[in-house]
Structure 1
Amino acid sequence: MARPSKPIAATDQPRIPMPAVDPALNLTPSTWKVLTDSIFPAAKTAEGIVLALHYCAARNLDVMKRPVHVVSMYSKAIGREVETVWPGIAEVQTTAARTGQWAGLDAPRFGPVCERSFVGRVRRDGSWQDLELTVSFPEWCEVTVYRLVGGQRCPFTEPVFWLEAYARLGGSYSELPTDMWVKRPRGQLMKCAKAASLRAAFPEEATYTAEEMEGKVIEADAALPAQVTTPVVSVVATPSETATDKRQTPIAGASEPAAAPTSAPDAASLDAAMRQRIDKVIARAADNAAWKQAEQYLRERCTGADLAYALAALSRAQGTTPPETDTEQKQAA
């Protein structure tokens, strides 16, 4: 006679309660606990984990090797975050290897190292906080992947730029990088470059990866990620940069200047945090003679009295006449 199973102790309960699932998945309570607590610790819902199970079953993958990741993405269609399943870079390489035509890859090549400051607001402990991060990162990376085509070993290379690929805190409406992209700027970019080249070599097999989709928005065509326009603090050439490898990060066009009063307000009348942020931008511009970039940045992020103060302070730092605001330009016309 089989012994009745003992109830699971409260301390052994999984992080997310186990739902009713398809019996074909052969899911047990102990396996579910491993999935919730070890394999997919970032998953927020049972539905996300079940999606990953079905994906692995359909692709004949061992879910315990974590070939896929549960990624939270903001959906514009429903106005909230949803959990999606994307393969990791290891799964994409596995898929390429299974074709029997993958012929290896080269070591990654990185562009010059840039250092840039990012500013934005993040929600922490139930309140919004202003945050500024300075990150050093390679401007671009490329990894050459080889595939046998008609018996010939053919190279496929897709360069990927850090500013276009990095994951943002808060999705496309923020320019702050996520913690992983701050800690591993080269490693994360290398994964994205490898994935892009694998897609070029195996378009019928490879897809986008979790590393590429983190921090992105569903229906991205309707909400393209904002281009970062903060001034570059420094650029250091790396050994991998050669005359034929030089690339430049695309610079987004400046948005239309925001309206502002014709006279600069007194600094004491402004919000202290905003004034401090403006002063930091101007200080960085002075250190690097990046006046045009600073003006563009301030026009995109300041309005009204804040913009008038920013433009006046910028002109004082340059020792020039303050640039015209929209109001002044219209009056002159």
Structure 2
Amino acid sequence: MSRFFTGRVLGAAACALTLSGCSVSGSYPDATEPDAAKLRFISDMSSATLSVLDEQHCGGQTTGILNNLFLANTRRRVDMSMPPASEKTPYLEIRLSPKKEQLLHLNTQGTGSVCGTAFSFKPQSGAEYELTFNSAGSQCVTRLKRLHRVQGQVARSPVPLVNNGIPSCMGANALFPVPAKGLPGTPERDGLIEQIVSQSIITEMKPGVTSLSESVQVETVDLLVDKRKLQMNLDLPDAYWAQYRQNVAAYLVQAQGIKANALEQYKVEYRTRLSRLETPSIKALVPDTQATDVTQALATNGAMLQYYRQLNDQLQKEVMAENWARMAELDKRYGVCERYAQCWQN
């Protein structure tokens, strides 16, 4: 099941942008294309909102508000053909332009806290989806599922969530800030920065010393394919399974490179952040010197470790989403979803 959580506090600016102009129905106009996709947004959290952002609307357009003390829950609907699993949890429905990538921004304001997330979404023509945004302990959890029918029954297939941002919106508002430029490099500054970055790398960040051998990879692919065959129990041609096998092998290769990719991006980001500091501030972060500010150094490394973990998670989602798209195209080509509820859905 896809899970995407970016952090509890997005900041006052993000909240202001999300909630500005909020009304029962919001400011987002439903897409008018005949093959528009339909999305049901479900939430049990206080003052939950869903905003749709794109290149023309970097500030976002709201779709209404759920579970608010002062506004009645919206009855916004778009006549989706498949009903919600339950009518007890408040929800709203909207129409989205198909095959157009948009950024969906979810937000909630509870007592003394803000919870939110955002992800890129490119809905398929005529497809129907459900988006849930609920609390789980101290976190908010988002899940997107595509609705379809299998032998007359409604099936809900998970869809992976990835945030690609909106590059053209950079600098448009507080949600898309322009990063500050670094100060000019010098041999001294560059050397100090490399000390900080290199000594911040812990075992968790280091890629495995060995990759899967060819025999182990073949064995793993065989295991996954055989398991899928047993689960599906469908009569599918050899060509389907040959392509399925290729997709699994490609995913394994990509997955093995995630940690190395994450580490390289981590180093680049850490150097970039340090380059914005004055030289005395950089010296205070170099470990084990007379100028070291231990508290500040630990805090900075802690923040960068959190960045690494979020980056690694994001890269995993991107690789998974690529594989998901390949598998979904394969299942669509062979009509699997009409016969199997747990098919791959894009």
Q: TM-score range by the shorter chain?
A: under 0.3
TM superposition score normalised by structure 1? 0.24
Q: Which has the larger radius of gyration?
A: 1
* TM-score relative to the length of structure 2: 0.23
